[in-house]
Chain A
Amino acid sequence: MSQLLKKNKNLIYPGFLWFLFFFMLPLVIILIYAFIDNFLRPGTPVNFTFENFLIIFQRKHYLLLLGRSIRISLITTFFSIAFAYPIAYFLAKKTKYDKILIVALMIPFWVNYLIRTFAWKLIISENGIVNKILLGLNVTDVPLRILYTEFAVILGLIYTNTPMMILPLYATISRIDNSLLEAALDLGASRTRAFFDIIFRLSLTGIFAGTILVFIPVLGSFAIPAILGGTNSMMIGNIIENQFIEVGNWNFGSAFTLALALISLAMIFIYSKLFGLKSIYKNQGL
């Protein structure tokens, strides 16, 4: 490459410096905060400590909350796979209108999730549509309490995140050549067997990519539990918000934030070892 074109490399710097300064450096500061016992301020002495992490494991309240967050995230991920898979399969293999339908899916996906969450609040509230129907059919005498429960939170999370799962699944399934399925049938496999041996097995990449794209944001969500959930369905995000906005314990809040960051980094790392990072963004349909 000519000397002149080596200048292209310099184009990296503005963006990269921005990234270092406004993304990496803040993370480093959080890292520091998690291991000290006071604010980073001129004139304030600080000590190194593990106390902030120990509190998470010492207080039952926080352990419960951590467990609940992971449980809610797992359930949400599982159901979004279950709901999304047939759709992705249909779009990829059973229709020629897939491009249009994907657009139809993309539009609600791009509608702000707070608005979509708001809609669910209307639907499941005590005098919402669901309760109106149930009362009307005499299934129940008193309106069901759905809003402000863990169930409501999961409902909202599944609803807002399922489209995230469809895109990577659709991308991987549509890349599977139909002749592979035909070959399996030709060699004597039943339809069901051939589906699991070939389509499902080869779409695992998409399932994992979708899992990354759903599990991580769900684990870090705080708006949906704040709107649809009650005090018994708070998640990590709500605790973190609480620590920074109301309590003002930055050290403990940073420890929780760091834990969240580490869980997601670990997942991203495992995924990239298994399939390569490229397949995550390749499958997002950008």
Chain B
Amino acid sequence: MEKYIVELKNVVKKYGSFTAVDNVSLKIKEGSFFSLLGPSGCGKTTTLRMIGGFIDADQGDIFIDALNMRGVPPNKRRTSLVFQNLALFPHMNVKENIIYGLKKRKLSAEIINEKLKKIINIVNLSGLENRRITELSGGQQQRVALARSLIIEPEILLLDEPLANLDKKLRISMQYELKEIQKRTGTTFLYVTHDQGEALTMSDTIAVMNNGKVIQTDSPYEIYNHPSDVFVADFIGAGNFIKLEGIKKFSNEDYGNMKTDLKNLKNTMEDKENQPQMPAGNENNINQFDKIICTTKYGGSIKHKIRSGVFENIISRNNTEDMVFFIRPEKIGLRHAISIKTSSHDIKNRGENNKSNRTAQENINPEDLNFYQGTIESLIFEGPDIRFTIRSEQIGRLKAEVKNERYFLGLTAGSSIDFFWDIEEGTLFY
């Protein structure tokens, strides 16, 4: 059975008229890596410090190991905090820093030494025990702070953006190391960060916070792919927000139009061997999902799949003002625009190149594909990726991101382009 080591129930913290933490409830699984993610001032650090006992909650309760922590000072809680600035004691060396907590617990010298050896191994600090703090590199200081907290064997290790002051490369390698140390020690980590990449890389569970509230608590995969609202979608990674004018259910008439579209597509692709086919199991999906068509303000339409019942729900609200379709740039596929005038040789070549990247989509039923034509407004080469800004008459301006592959050579601003995405991708916010 899963055990929750930390539980917050309706916790509120106010500073004057400003509500820093607004009715937050959380459950943190024992042994997991849990991140509080949000922009600065969202209340994540306040939440962390309340769990650590540095700040008292105004309302609500915090339980650690099922015990209510109300009025328990930090030195009596089985938590330990790794500070953002690390808060290493400048007048003590590495060893003295690490064993400070054990000394306060009045453990015998042998036990202290034994634990010190063990922790030094875990955090890779061997040989540096007698160094002064100022003689250490940023990464080493990080490890000392970690060791100093881990050695007292807290039930939860609280980390307040400890990597914020490191340079990018070191930060990324420390992310993996932190995750590794967390697995090795089995300690519950509660990690506060404003860096979504960091949270996605390390966490088992992420709670996204904004304006003192927890917006969504989920696995990194779910948070990224199925953000619960516009804020989460926008905060985690990049995305295109397409304003909608209306939605309707997929009808036969639409299907007819689609057929012509499909025919065009098939012709232009000159790809007769790969007849689009319904993927297996699609019928089952239909039982749970509705296909809908969203209309953009430019008159274009976006096919999308939503859970059945949602459509009726939206219609009954009778409010289409705030409807937004959200799609991540890397979910958009790109293809050289194919015009009838292009020579067959050329097309064939392109088609072959096309197979090498994920934009080929041969096995997907074009009915399950949104397909548009547009022009490239600008493109930025970023090393592993190429970022495009595309403009289309039906959709408006979109960002798309593809892998750096030869196929995209020769595309410049002004080039015509075809782009598409699977109707299962993207999210409809209403």
Q: How far is the CB of A163 from chain B (nearest CB, A)?
A: 27
Establish whether residues B87 and A193, one from each chain, have CB atoms under 8 Å apart when the complex forms: no
**Alpha-carbon separation in the docked complex, A189 to B152 (Å):** 12
User: In the complex, which residues of chain B have a beta carbon less than 8 angstroms from the beta carbon of A198?
Assistant: 89
Which among B79, B100, B105, B152 is the interface contact of A184 at CB below 8 angstroms? B100
Q: Are A186 and B85 in contact (CB under 8 A)?
A: no
A47 contacts the other chain (CB 8 A): no
For B75, what are the chain A residues with a Cβ–Cβ distance below 8 Å?
185-190
* A179 adjacent to B152 (CB under 8 Å): no
Given contacts A185-B74, A189-B75, contact A179 B104 (CB under 8 A): no
Give chain A interface residues in 169-198, CB to chain B under 8 Å. Answer: 177, 179-180, 182-190, 193, 197-198
| Chain B positions within 8 Å of A155 at CB level | none
Q: Is B227 an interface residue (CB 8 A)?
A: no
Within 8 Å of chain A (Cβ to Cβ): is B83? yes
Q: Is A202 an interface residue (CB 8 A)?
A: yes
Residue A201 interfacial (CB < 8 Å): yes
Distance from B64 Cβ to chain A, minimum over Cβ atoms (Å) = 14
Interface membership of B52, Cβ < 8 A: yes
Secondary structure dominating the interface of A: helix
Alpha-carbon gap, A186 to B48, bound state (A): 13
Q: Quick check: B104 and A183 within 8 Å, CB to CB?
A: no
Q: Contact between B152 and A188 (Cβ–Cβ < 8 Å)?
A: yes
* B91, A187: Cβ atoms closer than 8 Å: no
A206 to chain B, nearest CB (A): 13
A179 to B45 alpha-carbon distance, docked (Å): 13
Within 8 A of A (CB), among B81-106: 81, 83-85, 87, 89-91, 100-101, 104-105
Cβ–Cβ contact A183 & B105, under 8 A: no
- A163–B176 alpha-carbon span in the complex (Å): 52
Q: Could you tell me the distance between the alpha carbons of A189 and B76 in the complex, rounded to whole angstroms?
A: 9
- Chain B: which residue is nearest A193 at the CB level? B104
B85 and A187 contact, CB distance less than 8 A: no
Question: What residues on A are CB-neighbors of B73 within 8 Å?
Answer: 185
A188 in contact with B87 given A182-B54, A182-B81, A183-B81 (CB within 8 Å)? no
Asked whether A188 and B90 contact (CB < 8 A) given A177-B85, A179-B83, A182-B74, the answer is no
User: With the chains together, A187 CA to B96 CA distance in Å?
Assistant: 13
Give the Cβ gap from B299 to chain A, nearest Cβ, in Å. 57
Residue of B nearest to A205 (CB): B91
Given A177-B85, A185-B74, A187-B75, are A202 and B90 neighbors across the interface (CB < 8 Å)?
yes
Q: How many residues of B contact A (CB 8 A)?
A: 23
> Chain A interface residue count: which class?
10 to 19
A186, B90: Cβ atoms closer than 8 Å: no
Q: Determine how close the nearest CB of chain B comes to the CB of A118; give it in whole angstroms.
A: 43
Q: A188-B101, A190-B75, A193-B104 are contacts. A183–B91 as well, Cβ < 8 Å?
A: no
Are A187 and B104 closer than 8 Å at their CB atoms? Answer: yes
The contact string, 1 if C-beta is below 8 Å from chain A, for chain B 50-66, is 00111000000000000
Instruction: Assess whether A177 is in contact with B91, with CB atoms less than 8 Å apart.
Output: no
Which residues of A have CB within 8 Å of B84?
Answer: 179
Contact yes or no, B83 A182, CB < 8 A:
yes
Whether B90 lies near A187 (C-beta < 8 A) is no
- Measured in the bound complex, the distance between the Cα atoms of B75 and A187 in whole Å is 6
Q: Residues of B contacting A188 with CB < 8 Å?
A: 75, 101, 104-105, 152
B305 at the interface (CB under 8 A from A): no
In the complex, chain B residues whose CB is within 8 Å of the CB of A197: 89, 100
Q: Which of A179, A189, A193, A202 contacts B91 (CB 8 A)?
A: A202
Complexed CA–CA distance, A193 and B106 (Å): 13
Q: Whole-angstrom distance from the CB of A242 to the nearest CB of chain B?
A: 46
Bound together, the chains give a CA A33 to CA B278 distance in angstroms of 111
A201 with B52: CB separation less than 8 A? no
- 0/1 interface trace, chain B 142-153, chain A, CB 8 Å (1 if under): 000000110010
Is A187 a contact of B83 with CB atoms below 8 Å?
Answer: no
Assembled-state Cα–Cα distance A241/B152 (Å): 63
**Pair A183/B87 contact, Cβ less than 8 Å:** yes
Chain B neighbourhood of A193, CB < 8 A: 104
Q: How far is the CB of A109 from chain B (nearest CB, A)?
A: 30
Q: Could you tell me the distance between the alpha carbons of A118 and B75 in the complex, rounded to whole angstroms?
A: 51
Decide if A179 touches B85 in the complex (CB within 8 Å).
Answer: yes
Chain A residues within 8 Å of B81, by CB:
182-183, 186
- A255: min CB distance to chain B, Å: 41
A–B Cβ pairs within 8 angstroms, 16 of them: A179-B83, A179-B87, A180-B89, A182-B74, A183-B87, A185-B74, A185-B75, A186-B54, A186-B74, A187-B148, A188-B104, A188-B105, A189-B75, A190-B75, A190-B104, A202-B90
Given contacts A186-B75, A201-B91, 17 further A-B contacts (CB under 8 A): A177-B85, A179-B83, A179-B85, A180-B87, A183-B81, A183-B148, A186-B54, A186-B80, A186-B149, A187-B104, A187-B149, A188-B104, A188-B152, A189-B104, A197-B89, A198-B89, A202-B91
Interface residues of B (CB under 8 A from A): 52-54, 73-75, 79-81, 83-85, 87, 89-91, 100-101, 104-105, 148-149, 152
Lowest 8 CB-CB distances: which A-B pairs, in order? A187-B101, A179-B87, A183-B87, A188-B104, A179-B83, A186-B74, A189-B104, A185-B74
